[in-house]
Structure 1
Amino acid sequence: MFKAILVEKDDQGYRAGLHTVDPTRLPEGEVLVRVSHSTVNYKDALAITGRAPVVRSFPMVPGIDFVGTVEQSSDPDFKPGDAVVLNGWGVGETHWGGLAQFARVKSQWLIRLPEGLQPEQSMAIGTAGYTAMLCVMALQRHGLTPQSGDILVTGAAGGVGSIAVALLSSLGYRVVASTGRAEESNYLQSLGAAEIIDRKTLSEPGKPLGKERWAGAVDSVGSHTLANVCAGTRYRGVVAACGLAQGMDFPATVAPFILRNVTLAGIDSVMCPTRDRQEAWNRLAKELDINKLALIGSRTIGLSDVVAVAEQLLAGQIRGRLVVDVNRD
């Protein structure tokens, strides 16, 4: 028997709570993982509260990422004792996820925890940091170097944005951070941002083309912000788009793409190929300054705290990462 957060929906309504679960209820998969840590992401909070239709089947164990060690495996690529990480693949939505002491998953969903990275650190980075690294990789694969010019990061005080600022600055890029919270300026500068701009300058409807301001961008906002980011990107610049905090719409024109040869690179962390996932995590272990990770901050909680914290997260009452020690009382 093991402990897990279960989301249920039936005649009694939608609810989430801490339960003791029989291992025979675990879904099919080649690898059984003894989970050590998971997180509470925004998507997890939506799943736990039912504020959005994240969960596709019931009952469901939420938790879109986790770290742990292999307990059993029918795949020769993994053996008992191997340290592994999982992000995405519909885990916590269509397949039982990481907010539990055990998870059984497909072997192709797992990657190895890089040497030098502690389990709790990996979840302080989490899907947000992994997504940020995928964005950095996209900019670099399209040829952007520190000599290319400024890199804009929108939603800079958020999870993806904060780690993107830290990574880019550590790699030598001059980072322009966009935020709607002026009080976060010192925080963003401590992560390495060279310039802070108000998100209001990007969030309203703008012109098809603006002044060429940055060589590239990491955007987690979408909507008018993404349209204005593209409009202000220099000739042959690159924009990595990974989020929709402002909206899913993209009210733009083709002008930046056909007149300035701007590339809009879409970033998906959920179904990303294993090779890119492993590269992203290996690079995070080497290139993310752990001191900056400490500045971003994380709070470690137990499974019994998860449901209450989900409400606080959606209410905007929590800053930094929420790491869940699934074995903590």
Structure 2
Amino acid sequence: MHLYSAFRIHNDDQGHHAGIERLPKPGPAEGEVLIRVRYSSVNYKDALAGTGRGKILRTFPLVGGIDAAGEVEVSRHPNYKAGDSVIATGWGLSFDHDGAYAEYLCVPGDWLVPMPTGLDARAAMILGTAGFTAALAVQRMQVNGQRPELGPILVTGASGGVGSMAVVILARLGYEVVALSGKPDLHDWLKGLGASRVIGREALAGATRPLEKAEWGGAIDNVGGEILAQITRTTVPGGNIAAIGLAGGHELHTTVMPFILRGVSLLGCNSVDVPNPLRTELWQHLADDWRPANLDALLSETVALDGLPEVFERVLAGQTHGRILVRL
């Protein structure tokens, strides 16, 4: 029996615990594909799942990891053959299906995207769910009429994975980007990624009336809570706010006035179950016209499976930035 290494998460009589285990290599059923995983990544959601501090997993035990890139080893799906390079993000990974923190991953072929020309497994996972989510936010905003001439785009939580990716993509597309970050030591890094200026959270304080001075052409918000409420009050007529994260809280205390009187749109972004045609289109953008000029500038560190627990703690403590690659 061929065994492989995987980072597996349990919640049983011993409570929540996780670590590396040896598992038997699976065989794909009809419609499935067995992937030899080369790289994965660490997202905020992975840290919540791996530590048990977020109710992410629907079933236990489960292998963690919502991102994977590698090669097809065995295919029982008509669209893929052995040797094909593929990407898997979202869907049921590390939710109700084993995830990508493993040397092998067996998934429905319909969850996969062929590796676009211009990317390899490492580059795809520097982008990962963070890059894909940022691309989804930009796509939704542009479909809804967002244009550079509407004014600067505010990106909150800008030093995180999605935030830093959003800064790069928006700057590449010609938008003026204002990055909001509570980490002064990363301001120069954010400017290097394309932010025209960097502000602290105190810059949004005091926006309490239903409508305040319109300042932002739009926003990509990774924080939620009071910061998102403040953005709704200060976005220009016709501007779009893409809501992605809730690290600052899941409640939203605002009024309908920005949406009615200024025509502001609040666009929710869920990257988990994006239909495959749009999923493929966004990955093509990330490989081509939206691709960051220097992907490695977004990469803060690379770890192996045994380094995950320590990284998870730092992610949840706000002590990381950019993207963290997992090498299998």
Q: Using structure 2 for the length normalisation, give the TM-score.
A: 0.93
How far the C-alpha of 1:291 sits from its partner, in A, is 4.1
Contact 1:34 1:102 (8 Å CA) reproduced: yes
Partner-residue secondary structure (3-state), 1:287: coil
How far the C-alpha of 1:174 sits from its partner, in A, is 0.8
User: 2 CA distance for matches of 1:317 and 1:308?
Assistant: 11
Partner residue in 2 for 1:206? 208
- 1:59 and 2:61 correspond: yes
Give the paired residue count.
326
- Unaligned 5+ segments in structure 1 are none
1:75 alignment partner, one of 74, 77, 91: 77
Partner residue in 2 for 1:240? 242
- Which aligned pairs between 1:101-112 and structure 2 lie closer than 5 A? 101-112=103-114
How far the C-alpha of 1:286 sits from its partner, in A, is 1.2
How far the C-alpha of 1:257 sits from its partner, in A, is 0.7
1:262 alignment partner, one of 257, 261, 264: 264
Partner residue in 2 for 1:169? 171
Q: Aligned AA for 1:68?
A: G
Partner-residue secondary structure (3-state), 2:251: coil
1:297 alignment partner, one of 266, 276, 299: 299
User: 2 CA distance for matches of 1:295 and 1:14?
Assistant: 35
How far the C-alpha of 1:99 sits from its partner, in A, is 0.3
How far the C-alpha of 1:26 sits from its partner, in A, is 8.2
Partner-residue secondary structure (3-state), 2:288: helix
- Which aligned pairs between 1:72-221 and structure 2 lie closer than 5 A? 72-202=74-204, 206-221=208-223
The C-alpha deviation readout for 1:201-242, integer Å capped at 9, x for no partner, is: 336662211111122111111112112112111111111111
How far the C-alpha of 1:256 sits from its partner, in A, is 0.6
How far the C-alpha of 1:13 sits from its partner, in A, is 2.9
The C-alpha deviation readout for 1:115-169, integer Å capped at 9, x for no partner, is: 1112111111111111111111112111222223211111111111111111111
Distance 1:310 1:117, change over 3 A: same
Q: Which moved more, 1:146-155 or 1:234-243?
A: 146-155
- 1:228 and 2:195 correspond: no
Contact 1:114 1:282 (8 Å CA) reproduced: yes
Q: Aligned AA for 1:199?
A: R
Distance 1:181 1:63, change over 3 A: same
How far the C-alpha of 1:273 sits from its partner, in A, is 1.3
Contact 2:36 2:70 (8 Å CA) reproduced: yes
Q: Aligned AA for 2:38?
A: S
Distance 1:27 1:103, change over 3 A: farther
How far the C-alpha of 1:103 sits from its partner, in A, is 0.8
- Unaligned 5+ segments in structure 2 are none
Distance 1:227 1:36, change over 3 A: same
Partner residue in 2 for 1:275? 277
Contact 1:28 1:104 (8 Å CA) reproduced: no
Q: Which moved more, 1:154-163 or 1:285-294?
A: 285-294
Partner residue in 2 for 1:253? 255
How far the C-alpha of 1:94 sits from its partner, in A, is 1.0
How far the C-alpha of 1:320 sits from its partner, in A, is 2.8
User: 2 CA distance for matches of 1:264 and 1:91?
Assistant: 27
User: 1 CA distance for matches of 2:17 and 2:282?
Assistant: 35
User: 1 CA distance for matches of 2:35 and 2:89?
Assistant: 14
Aligned-pair RMSD on alpha carbons? Answer: 1.9
Q: Which moved more, 1:271-280 or 1:45-54?
A: 45-54
Q: Aligned AA for 1:232?
A: T
Q: Which moved more, 1:139-148 or 1:305-314?
A: 305-314
How far the C-alpha of 1:249 sits from its partner, in A, is 0.7
Contact 1:27 1:105 (8 Å CA) reproduced: no
The C-alpha deviation readout for 1:11-46, integer Å capped at 9, x for no partner, is: 233211111111249899611111111112222122
Partner residue in 1 for 2:6? 4
User: 2 CA distance for matches of 1:28 and 1:43?
Assistant: 30
Partner residue in 2 for 1:37? 39
User: 2 CA distance for matches of 1:295 and 1:176?
Assistant: 18
User: 2 CA distance for matches of 1:319 and 1:214?
Assistant: 24
Partner residue in 2 for 1:317? 319
Q: Aligned AA for 1:208?
A: P
Contact 2:159 2:322 (8 Å CA) reproduced: no
Q: Which moved more, 1:102-111 or 1:301-310?
A: 301-310
Contact 1:26 1:103 (8 Å CA) reproduced: no
User: 2 CA distance for matches of 1:297 and 1:105?
Assistant: 27
Q: Aligned AA for 1:31?
A: V
Contact 1:68 1:119 (8 Å CA) reproduced: yes
